[in-house]
Amino acid sequence: MTKTLMKKWHSHEGTIAASSNGFDLIDCKFCGFKHIIPIPTAEELEQAYQHDYYTKEKPLYIERFRDDLDWWNIVYSQRYEILERHLPDSHRSLLDIGSGPGYFLLNGQKRGWNVRGIEPSVQAAEHSRNLGFEVNNTFFLKKLLQS
């Protein structure tokens, strides 16, 4: 007989699908998503994405990304090819939300797309700027509220 572990946080509850680094991932019966509990606050998410992700969580992310850039360029080219099949030349503008180090933007620019990025990480946004892009260093929802 399988024992099913349940976890509850406010109204969010469900079976534990995985546990790692002190977090439980639940298959939530309340909202239908799989997510960790407790759900991080806006302040915790801001700290994680703006400051910790590229310095504490994945400090070598951009360096390793560059090591795999040939592969990523193939992936990005395939994605742009799909978009280009459905969009006329006059509609080739792209907003990359969570643009990371900016290589998807770079790939699009080389293909003639008008590209912009929004990236919460200070380090990733700076990397994108060094590639020559104007990237808004903020969260997408904050950008919407400011518009």
Name the residue among 104, 103, 135 with its Cα closest to residue 120. 135
Nearer to Zn ion, 38 or 59 (CB): 38
Beta strands in the chain (DSSP E): 6-9, 12-20, 23-28, 34-37, 93-97, 114-118, 135-136
CA distance 126 to 33: 33
Nearer to Zn ion, 33 or 71 (CB): 33
Tokens 């006059």 correspond to 90
The residues, ordered by sequence, that sit 6+ positions from 42 with a Cβ below 8 Å of its Cβ are: none
- Find the shortest distance in angstroms from Cβ 125 to Zn ion: 30
Q: How far is the CB of 35 from Zn ion (least distance, A)?
A: 6
| Nearer Cβ to Zn ion (34/64) | 34
Token couple for 52? 């910790």
Residue closer to Zn ion (CB basis): 30 or 71: 30
Q: Which residues bind Zn ion (CB under 5 A)?
A: 12, 28, 30-31
Q: Residue 41 Cβ, how far from Zn ion at the closest point, in Å?
A: 15
Which residues, including other chains, have CB under 8 Å from residue 78's CB and lie 6 or more apart?
none
Q: Which residue is nearest to Zn ion (CB)?
A: 28
Taking the complex as a whole, the smallest distance from the CB of residue 4 to Zn ion amounts, in Å, to 17
